[in-house]
Chain A
Amino acid sequence: MNPVITIAKKEYLDAIKNKLFLILALFLIVLTVISIIVASFDFQSKVADYNISVQILKNVGKVAEIPPIPEFYPLTMLRGVIDYLEIIGAIIGIILGYLSVAKEKGKNILQLILSRPLKRSAIISGKIVGNSLLLLTVLLIVEIFIYFITWSLGKVMFLPAEFLKLSLTLFLSYLYILFFYCLSSALSISIKSLPNALIIIFAIWLIIVLIIPQIGDTMDPDNQIPGGFFQSMHIAKPQEKEILAKFSTYETTRNALEESSVTKHYERASFALLGITPGYNGKNTGLIFHDEWKNIAWQLGYLITALLFQYVVLSKNNFILGGD
């Protein structure tokens, strides 16, 4: 059998027997379900509030002032799911990367494997293929749960276009989690102590996933007042853009900061695909890709860099022979 397939198979089977991975995968699925249920209650609450407003307006005879009914787009219910994929998905990638190294490092197993007529690239490729299949399995289960929960809560069946957008979003999630897998396994090999490696990886995760996007959001002028600053000032979108153009240095700094985080690129592309970003609801998938190709390219760029880092680390003897 091809050594890459053999290693991939072993990685897959090892991971599904691991308690840490199983806890995290289950946690992600539970959070997906909770998130959709909460979003559906939130929407029902908005509809109920709308009906009360309509009744009041009808009672006072102001029928002309009745606002449009809140529209239901099932994919927008997944806002929380994306947040959890950003946080828990990245942790799953980190734990998989860490485990794939921890089970061999310090026990001289890696040295033993390398004493066989086996290329180092085959080891990494096997590990990546095995863990990729595992991630795709987890994301497939998440997709099935999304489909099942939205159907059971509101008897909503996704249209083919929506199904395609959901699948593409989950594929972006796969690329995003794989980035953390590669980063984690490369750092677990290169840092001498495994527990130190895990905490350093978590520190990097904290910066990339939470701190950088948080700073960007905090600096956003529209995020300073409940409901939005510009809405409170009765300013429309085109005018808002005109005003912000006068603060281009500040906006460029804020944007550059956000763009340094892979999480923000994943979030932007996913939000556009799911129609969470205003103006993208019902938009053709091709047009969304046309708008979002830069974010997708950035995400791929980050992944390729992490992959190269992993290959470089394993090609250096001092990292492997150094042991723990």
Chain B
Amino acid sequence: MTSRIDIIAKNEFKTLFKENTFTVLLIIFILMTIFSTYIGWSAKNTIINVYQETVKEISLKGIKEIPPNPFTGTPDLSILKNMIVYVFLIGSLLALVIGNNAFIRDRRSGVLRIIFSKFISKQTYIFGKIVGIFETLLFVIFISFLLSLFSTVLISGHFLTPIEILKLSGFYAISLVYLLIFSMVGLYFAINSDGESIALLIPVIIWVIITFVMPQITSSLVPTALLNPTNIQAVTPHSNYFHILQIVIRPFSISESYKEISDILLETNSGINAISILQTKFQNAVGLIIMFSYLGISMFGSIYAINKFNSCEEGLSE
């Protein structure tokens, strides 16, 4: 059984890299990984210069109480903070397409009937697909990790400390879990939907709800607020409504949990601090558990759906 799973997984991995749509999204993701370091570095430098100009202006007016430089002591990894946004924006869409393609491709071509008429069980097939998806995403994340590592070293001019490398690895590990959730959602709807377009559209709607709608409901953030790596909203409203939603729904808002955990990993100065913040922030720990729960549910959902799938279906509608 294991060797068959491996064969299906390897085939999935190879086939994906031959597909134009996957390649287009992968190129966008890789380019944005490289670009994110540059944007982070350029923005940070400019803003430090803006701060210095502002201090000059204030000093000329005779004001002696100069506000401290808000960027003093920010860690080198903070120039990668845009990457958080690109993971949940481009990466999650890429993952949706990977999960969707893995099954839709076989449904469209009609090979499922042949596959299931051989000595391959539905479970072996779906496990093979899941392993193939995992390997593909692991590859994408690993490439992204290497690019972030090299670009940060190149721009900052010195090697990262072991703790910084550990934190960067932690960020990419969390990102992998986050992407796997969306790929499993894509896979589930590819198995369960009647048409090809609806199989792609429903996961996109779920993605919109997780990325834009939930943060608005729980924290009164404007829908596109999470697109800015810095949360520019000064305070979360204090009303009972938001207080209740913060307790009840907020842990399920995995995009916010992912962003907060990633912020801690990339923007907290010391490694020990980052770990202690993660430990003390109960909300983040719960968020992490819920992320894994989402992954488990969507994965088991796909396994359950394949058992119910009619392998003799006539054809797939548009």
A232 in the interface, Cβ–Cβ < 8 Å?
yes
B93 cross-chain contacts in A, Cβ below 8 A: 202, 206
Q: How far, in angstroms, from A301 to B86 measured CA to CA in the complex?
A: 29
Q: Which of B143-151, B152-160, B212-220 contacts A (4 or more CB under 8 A)?
A: B212-220
Contact partners of A88 in chain B: CB under 8 A:
208
Is A223 in contact with B232, judged by CB distance below 8 angstroms?
A: yes
Min Cβ gap A185→B in Å is 14
Q: Which of B19-53 contact A (CB under 8 A)?
A: 20-21, 24-25, 28, 32, 39, 42-43, 46-47, 49-51, 53
Known contacts A214-B228, A224-B47, A233-B54; A46/B197 CB under 8 A: no
* Interchain CA distance A221-B53 in the complex, whole Å: 13
In contact, B318 and A41 (Cβ under 8 angstroms): no
| B274 CB, nearest partner CB in chain A, Å | 20
Flag if A244 contacts B197 (CB, 8 Å). no
B119 in the interface, Cβ–Cβ < 8 Å?
no
Contact across chains for B70 and A196 when beta carbons are under 8 A apart: no
Out of B198, B220, B229, B231, name the residue touching A42 (CB < 8 Å): B220
Cβ–Cβ contact B238 & A45, under 8 A: yes
Is A34 among interface residues, defined by CB-CB distance under 8 A? yes
Q: Contacts A214-B85, A221-B46, A227-B234; is A243 near B70 (CB within 8 Å)?
A: no
* A-B interface contact total, Cβ < 8 Å: 171
CA distance A27 to B212 in the complex (A): 13
The answer to whether B28 touches A207, judged by C-beta atoms less than 8 angstroms apart, is yes
Of the listed stretches A55-63, A76-84, A149-157, A282-290, name the one at the interface; the rest are far from the partner chain: A76-84
Shortest Cβ gap from A72 to chain B (Å): 15
Q: How far is the CB of B253 from chain A (nearest CB, A)?
A: 13
**Binary contact readout A100-129 vs B (1 if CB under 8 angstroms, 0 otherwise):** 001100000000000000000000000000
Nearest CB of B to A202, in Å? 7
Question: For residues 242 through 291 of chain B, which have their beta carbon under 8 Å from a beta carbon of chain A?
Answer: 242
* A226 interfacial by beta-carbon distance below 8 Å: yes
User: A1 → chain B, closest Cβ, in Å?
Assistant: 29
Whole-angstrom distance from the CB of B200 to the nearest CB of chain A? 7
User: Whose C-beta in chain A lies nearest to the C-beta of B201?
Assistant: A20
Give the shortest distance, in Å, between A75 (CB) and chain B (any CB): 15
Which residue in chain B gives the minimum CB-CB distance to A215?
B39
B222 in the interface (beta carbon within 8 A) = yes
> Taking the complex as formed, is B227 at the interface, i.e. its CB lies under 8 A from any CB of chain A?
yes
Contact pattern, B 98-122, Cβ under 8 Å of A = 1, otherwise 0: 0000001000100000000000000
Q: Are B216 and A80 in contact (CB under 8 A)?
A: yes
Q: Do B82 and A218 touch (CB < 8 A)? A: yes
Partner of B237, one of A35, A45, A198, A217: A45
Beta-carbon contact of A38 and B220 below 8 Å: yes
Interface size range of chain B in the complex? 35 or more
CA distance A197 to B200 in the complex (A): 13
- Answer whether residue B230 sits at the interface, using C-beta atoms and an 8 A cutoff: yes
A233-B54, A233-B58, A244-B50 known; A225-B232 Cβ under 8 A: yes
Q: Does B16 contact A (CB under 8 A)?
A: no
Flag whether A291 is at the interface (Cβ < 8 A).
Answer: no
Q: Which of A191-207 contact B (CB under 8 A)?
A: 194-196, 198-200, 202-203, 206-207
Set of chain A residues within 8 Å of B232, measured between Cβ atoms: 223, 225-228
Is A226's CB under 8 angstroms from B25's CB?
no
B313 at the interface (CB under 8 A from A): no
A23 contacts chain B at the CB level, 8 A cutoff: yes
- Per-residue 0/1 for B191-222: is the Cβ within 8 Å of any A Cβ (1 yes, 0 no)? 00000111011101100100011001100101
Q: Which residue numbers of B lie inside 8 Å of A, CB to CB?
A: 20-21, 24-25, 28, 32, 39, 42-43, 46-47, 49-51, 53-54, 57-58, 67, 70-71, 82, 85, 89-90, 93, 97, 104, 108, 196-198, 200-202, 204-205, 208, 212-213, 216-217, 220, 222-224, 227-234, 237-239, 241-242, 318
Closest 5 CB pairs of A and B: A45-B239, A45-B237, A227-B234, A83-B223, A199-B21
**Could you tell me which A residues sit within 8 Å of B by CB distance?**
19-20, 23-24, 27, 31, 34-35, 38-39, 41-42, 44-46, 48-49, 79-80, 83-84, 86-88, 91, 95, 98-99, 102-103, 194-196, 198-200, 202-203, 206-207, 210-211, 213-215, 217-219, 221, 223-230, 232-235, 239, 242-244, 246-247, 250
Can you report 28 residue pairs joining A to B where beta carbons are below 8 Å apart? A31-B213, A35-B223, A38-B220, A41-B239, A42-B237, A44-B239, A45-B238, A45-B242, A48-B239, A80-B223, A83-B223, A86-B224, A195-B200, A199-B200, A203-B21, A203-B25, A203-B28, A206-B89, A210-B227, A213-B224, A215-B39, A224-B230, A227-B234, A229-B50, A230-B54, A235-B54, A244-B50, A247-B53
